[in-house]
Amino acid sequence: MTRAVLWDLDGTLGDSEEYHWLSWRDTLAPEGVVITYDQFLARFGQKNDRILRDWLGPDAAHDRIRRLGDAKEAEYRRIAAERGLAPLPGAAEWVARLHEADWRQAIASSAPRQNVDVMLKALGMARSFEAVIAAEDVTAGKPDPQVFMAAAFRLHVPPSHCVVVEDAAAGIEAARRAGMRSVGVSRTTTLDADVFVKALDELPADAFDRLIVHSRP
């Protein structure tokens, strides 16, 4: 049976939360836009246009949204390249273990492709995945299932044989809409996933196998 794991990236494989917070805060402040950390967390993992429409209001000009989004991502990449990134507990080990067990693996991220490339390089995982789906590859962000469906299509694996690994509620909902099983991982909130852990190194050795065995036909 062909099986696949579709990985979110930010906050799932690498801990980039602080870098995203700093880059949003410091990009918006000169514009007179002040956001709280809770506001940031509520939108973490979503596409920039959706985030900025919430923070700037529905009447915000498209050019302004694009300019601020591009500036934020440039600042994020600068911080990530300068400070580096470390895999979250259990992340590198699971990617290697699944590869050895002949699971296909893809990145399915709402981040721009340049960010994904910077993160994978910083994490030392650039060659670990057979496909990478980024913001430019889809027209709708999570919780829309498009990013996961695109990754499954790229890997030639049916949705019922895919497991999504996510750290955000929007991603878990996207997996459900795609007809895929899910693993939720978060140190700060409980996610309504098929399996939930606070860190990937808490997953039992047969966690992914069991999800596919019990998946819908």
Residues catalogued as catalytic: 8, 10
* Apex 139 CA angle, 135 and 142, nearest 5: 65
Give how far Cα 68 sits from Cα of 20, 33, 63, Å.
13, 11, 9
Burial class (CB within 10 angstroms; exposed 0-12, middle 13-18, buried 19+) of 30? exposed
Give how far Cα 63 sits from Cα of 24, 138, 168, 177, 192, Å.
17, 20, 28, 31, 36
